[in-house]
Structure 1
Amino acid sequence: MSKVFAHRGSSIKYPENTMLAFKKAEKTGCYGIELDLHMSRDGYQIVIHDETVNRTTNGRGYIKDLTLRELKKFSIKRKWYRNEKIPTLDDVLEWAMTTNLIINIELKNDKIYYEGQEEAVVQKVAEYGLGDRVIYSTFNHKSVKKLKQLTDSEVAALYSKKGTNPLLLVKSTGADAIHANHRVMTESLMKDCQQHGIPVRLYTLNKPPLIKKWIDAGLAGVITDDPELAENILKEKQ
């Protein structure tokens, strides 16, 4: 049965990658949440999608150039949610301990490589005792290999390029799972992965026909901005 992951939280209604979006996602009954991680100048794991704060906050600058103290001064600039702040991984994991959610942590280290991020994130997850409830993912396939050396948690290889063979990607990286853009996946490729015991999760499935199509095809994970919609479709299927 397919599992629903809230992409950056319940981000269709609430500001992405915020504690509000994650808490609202949990209320939908979804299986897990997905979040993105960059690293601040002083080594903190910052939950935000872009390399800069420019798009989602009232601040300016690259995460790598800003300290946690500076980042916490910024506010989310989506509609009326201006009291929301950028969370840290600590903020999310501390809250996650009060839930049963699976946490998909995407390391955003493909455009800017953060030296030592893999070790820091794995250590942080271990501090909270959540290793059995975490899935790591990244577009940086060297980082996939590194994570596989550091943790027993599931590690997924992300990709979005057409022509990529997911099974070959698994073989070359040692990944446990595939997370792919739905536009580059076919049912045949997914079945090949499943026959080799490799779960496939697709992003970002937001429209009912797409969600229904992939649930019917036996997709392992629906990664969506609208977990409430996906959960309702899943219940109808059951």
Structure 2
Amino acid sequence: MTAHFESVHNAALYPDAFDVAAPTQAFERDVWPRKAGVFIRNAAATSHPAAPIADATPALPLQRELGYGQFGLVPPWVKSASDAKLRSTKLINARSETVTTSNNFRDAWLNGQRCIVPIMAFFEDDWRSGKAVPTRIARVDGKPMGVAGLWERWEKEGVEIVSFTLLTVNANSHALLHRYQQNGNEKRMPAILGEGAYAAWLNTHPEKAREFMRAYPANLLTANPVEKK
């Protein structure tokens, strides 16, 4: 499970790396569950529900925009703000294999509420020594990464919560990520998108979106233990 990531705080990187305007609101550099973060979505999907899975009509026009919300998704069926607070910390990751059947994420997936979460790095624990060693995982070239995600808007009794989650894929056979997280558990990693796939991910139909759920090449990633201050 990826519970901590480093956001892209250099505003100048957004137009070049993600073809979207730079952020204008404050958000966290180190993002943990329920902390504020940013994501990129298709603005057309906020006002036009996605076509049904069986529908072959053309995809919506692509209008990239930045969204601001908390890390940890709040499903629309949650009954109260207090319940949202409790549930969202457990919904920071969505398994790509079960996203269409999960009561927590199904609506966001089928409604085309896909997003890209811009990150510089994500953190996993290295347990090979018998103790958890926090490790920063980033691109070898130091460039930002775009992680596939889902976003949601919850509103009740005058309270609105915009939230997002990271989609994950199996990493048991990944040359780098199989080393991290506790032994005995399935290894997972964020679904990092190829730079050339950003537009297609935001604009594709739900039945095609699964094709983007792949493990990012290990040779393009580097892992470094986090120095304790």
Is the helix fraction higher in 1 or 2?
Answer: 1
Is the strand fraction higher in 1 or 2?
Answer: 2
> The TM-score by the shorter chain falls in which range?
under 0.3
Q: TM-score scaled to structure 2, two decimals?
A: 0.24
Q: TM-score scaled to structure 1, two decimals?
A: 0.23
